[in-house]
Structure 1
């Protein structure tokens, strides 16, 4: 599936890049900019970043589930991100007013 239309990047390429980063350091913080940098690309319109974040979360959770770490060491990243979205993201609406309309 095509994730980034600007750079023509597929979901499989993003997943491979994330796994390579996790092989270097399994507990590092991976963000979309780091994934794009590893692929020698850059975000242009950045409309794909929410999908890249979801892919990072899914691949990271699967990576740690397959690893030899105990269940105590594994944290559910998806639940934490969803909690942060509810806490910070849903109220601000990108700092737009309720009556804001695009031209």
Structure 2
């Protein structure tokens, strides 16, 4: 299914980019900007963003890596940060 009509990006393109980024760096935080860059594109009008985000979130490999979860809460417990 075409997600971004401006650039012809499909849901399969998004899934492939997310999987590729996760395989290349398991600790990376996947963002829409990184997905666009991985596909060699730039966001244009932004009309696709809700569907783009839904497609990213539907990927099995999209989630935040375990080692990066709750970092803000951990820093507070250790007395670091606000």
Compute the TM-score of the two structures, normalised by the length of structure 2. 0.68
Counterparts of 1:14 and 1:57, CA distance in 2: 10
In the TM superposition, residue 26 of structure 1 has moved relative to its aligned partner by 2.1
Preserved contact between residue 18 and residue 61 of structure 2 (Cα < 8 Å):
no
- Per-residue CA deviations over 1:59-100 (Å, capped at 9, x if unaligned) read 1xx237xxxxxxxx4xxxxxxxxxxxxxxxxxxxxxxxxxxx
- More helix, by proportion: 1
In the TM superposition, residue 27 of structure 1 has moved relative to its aligned partner by 2.9
- The count of residues paired between Structure 1 and Structure 2 equals 67
Q: Which structure is higher in RCO with an 8 Å CA cutoff and minimum separation 6?
A: 2
Question: Where does structure 1 differ by over 4 angstroms across 4 or more consecutive aligned residues?
Answer: none
Which structure is larger by alpha-carbon Rg, 1 or 2? 1
Compute the TM-score of the two structures, normalised by the length of structure 1. 0.56
Counterparts of 2:29 and 2:56, CA distance in 1: 10
Match of 1:25 in 2: 25
Match of 2:61 in 1: 63
Q: How is 1:79-94 mapped onto 2 (pairs within 5 angstroms)?
A: none
- Cα RMSD, aligned residues only: 2.5
Match of 1:45 in 2: 45
Q: Any stretches of 5+ residues in structure 1 without a counterpart? A: 65-72, 74-103
